[in-house]
């Protein structure tokens, strides 16, 4: 908890233009960026994707609206850079792509459960909380919003983003295992 508070304070300081805070923030998030790029990029593109992503973050950090959204923003930037670098190598897509459902259908139930647990564990705490309340405790969106004292739109957004991240994790993990 203390580490996340320190990171949030570092983000706020970096947003004000403090050069040392920006440098420290980029250093702190570099390991997370590399891990995420490892799952979404070809091995030869990881360094380029991380470097480009960190440069984008340094340039656009002042425009970040919510400090708690930093991790999701970081991962989105990295994923886009990985996709951009991948498109540069292969400017066309195959018409014979396997659908995500087909990709996961060959897994055993136990294997899929373990992968799902790992995917959920990879979520930031505010996303995980919403997923647990909605999908495991089966609360309504309104009930979750009331319990968390958050607007309904925030809860919907977090739930959607959490499900997207879990899906990306499962598909990225599956494709990295099959290569």
Is a pLDDT exceeding 60 seen at residue 11? yes
- Examine the domain organization and report whether 106 and 46 are in the same domain: no
Q: Kindly indicate the confidence band of residue 113, based on its pLDDT and cuts at 50, 70 and 90.
A: confident
- Examine the domain organization and report whether 121 and 83 are in the same domain: no
Instruction: Say if 138 falls within a structural domain.
Output: yes
Length of the chain: 179
- Examine the domain organization and report whether 67 and 113 are in the same domain: no
53 exposed, middle or buried (CB, 10 Å; 0-12, 13-18, 19+)? buried
CATH code, domain with 130: 1.10.10.10
Mean pLDDT of all residues in the chain?
82
Instruction: Say if 94 falls within a structural domain.
Output: no
What integer is the mean pLDDT of 130-143?
A: 92
pLDDT at 139: 92
- Examine the domain organization and report whether 6 and 39 are in the same domain: yes
pLDDT at 101: 64
- Examine the domain organization and report whether 26 and 69 are in the same domain: yes
Q: Kindly indicate the confidence band of residue 95, based on its pLDDT and cuts at 50, 70 and 90.
A: very low
- Examine the domain organization and report whether 106 and 143 are in the same domain: yes
- Examine the domain organization and report whether 78 and 109 are in the same domain: no
Select the more confidently predicted residue: 173 or 66: 66
All residues at 6 or more sequence positions from 30 whose CB lies less than 8 Å from its CB, including other chains: 50, 54
pTM for the model = 0.49
- Examine the domain organization and report whether 126 and 164 are in the same domain: yes
pLDDT at 60: 87
Q: How many domains does the chain have?
A: 2
Helix (H) or strand (E) holding 26: helix 19-40
Query: What residue numbers bound the domain in which 25 lies?
Result: 2-89
Instruction: Say if 160 falls within a structural domain.
Output: yes
All residues at 6 or more sequence positions from 36 whose CB lies less than 8 Å from its CB, including other chains: 74, 75, 78, 79
pLDDT at 1: 54
Is a pLDDT exceeding 70 seen at residue 153? yes
- Examine the domain organization and report whether 75 and 150 are in the same domain: no
Separation CA 66–CA 48 (nearest Å): 27
pLDDT at 4: 67
Contact of 38 with 169, CB cutoff 8 Å: no
Please write the tens of the pLDDT for every residue from 28-84: 888 888 988 888 888 888 888 899 999 988 888 888 888 888 888 888 899 888 888
């Amino acid at each position: 908890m203390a580490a996340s508070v320190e990171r949030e304070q570092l983000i706020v300081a970096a947003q004000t233009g403090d050069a040392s805070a920006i440098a420290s923030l980029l250093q702190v998030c570099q390991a997370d960026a590399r891990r995420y790029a490892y799952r979404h990029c070809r091995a030869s593109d990881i360094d380029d994707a991380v470097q480009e992503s960190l440069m984008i973050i340094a340039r656009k950090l002042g425009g970040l609206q919510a400090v708690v959204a930093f991790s999701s923003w970081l991962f989105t930037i990295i994923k886009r850079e990985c996709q951009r670098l991948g498109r540069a190598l292969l400017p066309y897509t195959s018409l014979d792509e396997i659908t995500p459902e087909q990709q996961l259908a060959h897994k055993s139930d136990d294997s899929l459960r373990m992968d799902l647990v790992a995917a959920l564990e990879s979520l930031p705490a505010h996303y995980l909380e919403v997923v647990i309340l909605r999908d495991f405790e089966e609360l309504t969106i309104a009930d979750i919003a009331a319990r968390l004292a958050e607007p309904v739109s925030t809860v919907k957004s977090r739930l959607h983003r959490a499900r997207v991240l879990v899906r990306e994790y499962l598909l990225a993990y599956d494709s990295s295992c099959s290569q």
